């Protein structure tokens, strides 16, 4: 039982994994983030990350648990019903491959992510809604309404490497066929022109820091500590952060954003089907960004449509969805929040590359 933040990370880093057939985490997505990074910080990371991971939802977000349930083709559920569903999936003991994304921060930290990388509105809601954790999953609804009341716009530069051939990606049938047993037996009216845009923040200094612009920023979400050493697969698609992106990358011309979120699972929370086309091992980062100019009304409708995954069919000109292999985000706004798997990380330039089928996950 973890006793403090990053305790699970430390335990897994030093544990004798030969004692267990699998590691099952009952918590929210944050504890699994610790376990994954603890495994990747081991000298034997290549073998350690093959340890099957199981998930039982016990947090307020439970995005990966909801994604596993979704991949099983079952009707969407939440709370206790989601817990029961994930329990049945664990009992089946079927193991699937799981993509992990390597994330590089300006502080030279390297993290491994199984869920998402977010900047702007989504990251703000995730961190600022911590104060509403006592209401469970409804904290995100409350946080969304609060943040809509004071919509922010962030300046930055976004670049990405698009996938070359979408038709070559594994289908749901392809991914489920890789399972093995570890046990012995729209509508365009969703988008409106915005006349309520807040003044865009301009770069005032070279110092960037996490900030929710609130005195109520939770103390529990600290920046992730540096790993003992840099281990893991080579990020052959990425240039160092202090060098330009490769010439064949796509650079987004817009520099004013409401949100940027990179997903590698279907759900962003129990009731947010953010990337309906995502699969556990499709080797794709599902990049969604919303450009400045969207109205509060349109953004609210967008998030309401996300409950059933309909937000990408709204024909809103401010919303862009693209499938990529790697990306780089360089914030210009001096204050802001960046999250990896819902965890607060150092604010500043960040880049990421997905590594297909790196880990193992018990999924039905």
Please list the active-site residues: 29
Q: Which pairs from 241-248 meet CB under 8 Å and 24+ separation?
A: 241/104, 241/106, 241/328, 241/349, 241/351, 245/159, 245/328, 246/161, 248/161
Q: Measured between alpha carbons, how far is 269 from 307 in angstroms, rounded to an integer?
A: 9
Cα 84–chain centre separation:
24
Q: Is residue 14 helix, strand or coil? A: helix
Residue 291 is given by DSSP the state E
- Phi and psi of 95, rounded to 5°? -110, 130
Give me the helix-helix angle, 139-149 and 121-128, nearest 10°.
120
Q: Measured between alpha carbons, how far is 95 from 363 in angstroms, rounded to an integer?
A: 6
Q: Measured between alpha carbons, how far is 53 from 175 in angstroms, rounded to an integer?
A: 17
Q: Which residue has the tokens 């079927």?
A: 94
Q: Measured between alpha carbons, how far is 33 from 45 in angstroms, rounded to an integer?
A: 15
DSSP per residue, 250-279: EE-S--EEEEEEEESSS-SBTTB---TT--
Q: Which residue has the tokens 């990251």?
A: 123
Tallying the residues shown for the chain, one arrives at 364
């Amino acid at each position: 039982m973890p006793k403090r933040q990053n305790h699970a990370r430390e335990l897994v880093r030093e544990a004798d994994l030969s004692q267990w057939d699998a590691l099952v985490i009952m918590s929210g997505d944050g504890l699994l983030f610790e376990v994954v990074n603890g495994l990747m910080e081991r000298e034997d990371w290549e073998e350690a990350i093959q340890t099957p991971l199981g998930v039982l939802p016990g947090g307020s977000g439970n995005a990966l648990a909801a994604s596993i349930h979704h991949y099983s083709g079952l009707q969407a559920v939440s709370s206790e019903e989601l817990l029961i569903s994930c329990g049945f999936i664990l009992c089946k003991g079927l193991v699937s491959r799981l993509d992990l994304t390597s994330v590089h921060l300006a502080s030279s930290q390297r993290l491994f992510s199984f869920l998402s990388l977010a900047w702007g509105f989504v990251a703000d809601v995730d961190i600022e809604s911590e104060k509403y954790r006592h209401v469970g999953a409804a904290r995100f609804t409350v946080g969304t309404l609060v943040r809509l009341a004071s919509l922010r716009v962030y300046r930055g530069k976004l670049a990405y490497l698009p996938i070359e051939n979408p038709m070559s990606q594994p289908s749901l049938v392809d991914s489920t066929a890789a399972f093995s047993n570890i046990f012995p037996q729209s509508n365009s009216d969703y988008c409106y022109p915005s006349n309520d845009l807040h003044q865009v923040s301009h770069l005032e200094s070279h110092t960037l820091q996490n900030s929710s612009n609130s005195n109520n920023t939770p103390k529990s979400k600290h920046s992730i500590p540096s790993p003992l050493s840099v281990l893991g697969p080579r990020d052959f698609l990425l240039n160092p952060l202090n060098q330009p992106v490769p010439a064949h990358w796509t650079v987004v011309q817009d520099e004013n954003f409401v949100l940027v979120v990179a997903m590698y699972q279907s759900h962003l929370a129990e009731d947010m089907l953010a990337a309906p086309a995502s699969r556990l091992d499709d080797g794709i980062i599902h990049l969604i960004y919303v450009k400045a100019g969207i109205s509060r009304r349109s953004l609210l409708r967008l998030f309401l449509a996300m409950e059933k995954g309909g937000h990408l069919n709204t024909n809103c000109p401010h919303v862009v969805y693209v499938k990529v292999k790697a990306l780089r985000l360089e914030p210009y706004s001096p204050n802001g929040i960046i999250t990896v798997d819902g965890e607060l990380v150092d604010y500043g330039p960040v880049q990421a590359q997905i590594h297909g089928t790196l880990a193992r996950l018990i999924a039905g």
